[in-house]
Homo-oligomer: A and B are copies of this chain.
Amino acid sequence: MAGAADDAAKAILRVVPLVMRTVRDEMRTGRAAPLSVPQFRTLNFVGRHRGASLSDAAAHVGVTLPSMSRLVDGLVARKLVIRQGHKADRRRLTLRLNARGRTLLRAAHASAELSIASRLTALGGEELDVVIRAMAILQPVFSGAATVGEDGSKRRMESNHV
């Protein structure tokens, strides 16, 4: 017997990439400003964690430090994020949004939510409830670190921050 966990895994593999493609497109063509999903997630994290380090951001977004370094390069170049040295520990950075970043993030959020929501209008109240509950169930399951190698080898960091 396959089991319910297997069925759920199959369903996730089939549907999540599909949903993701729409999410990505909505970001990319968003009225607010074109943003990639990692950019959106990074802005989101920095907005909620003022003064976070680059490592913090990498851990949350789920990319390597070099990837986040470049990602932040772009956001700084677009004048959405301020990148400064840390007073106490000069190895570290502190990241925060400037006013423009905050405004853009709010607009991007509103725009993306609206366009996703517009796709969901065909659904009934019970269906929406199932979707909401499923997302709540999946969030903690996929917030943890990637599977640890048997040898405990290094791998990309990931956290539970929201």
What 0/1 readout, one digit per residue, does chain A (23-67) give for beta carbons within 8 Å of chain B? Answer: 101000000000001000100000000000000000000100000
A95 to B36, CA, bound (A): 31
Residue contact B138 to A9, C-beta cutoff 8 Å:
no
Residue contact B12 to A19, C-beta cutoff 8 Å:
yes
Residue contact B5 to A117, C-beta cutoff 8 Å:
yes
Residue contact A9 to B117, C-beta cutoff 8 Å:
yes
Question: Does A88 make an interface contact (CB < 8 A)?
Answer: no
Residue contact A62 to B13, C-beta cutoff 8 Å:
no
Residue contact B129 to A4, C-beta cutoff 8 Å:
yes
Which residues does chain B contribute within 8 Å of A8, judged by CB atoms? 117, 120, 123, 128, 131-132, 135
Q: Knowing A25-B146, A130-B137, A134-B133 are in contact, say whether A17-B5 is a contact too (CB < 8 A).
A: no
A14 to B41, CA, bound (A): 9
Which residues does chain B contribute within 8 Å of A135, judged by CB atoms? 8, 11-12, 14-16, 134
- Number of residues from A at the complex interface, CB < 8 A: 59
Residue of B nearest to A11 (CB): B135
Question: Does A116 make an interface contact (CB < 8 A)?
Answer: yes
What 0/1 readout, one digit per residue, does chain A (101-136) give for beta carbons within 8 Å of chain B? Answer: 000000001001111111111110101111111111
Q: Write the residues of chain A forming the contact surface with B, with a CB cutoff of 8 angstroms.
A: 3-23, 25, 37, 41, 62, 109, 112-123, 125, 127-139, 141-143, 146-147, 156, 162
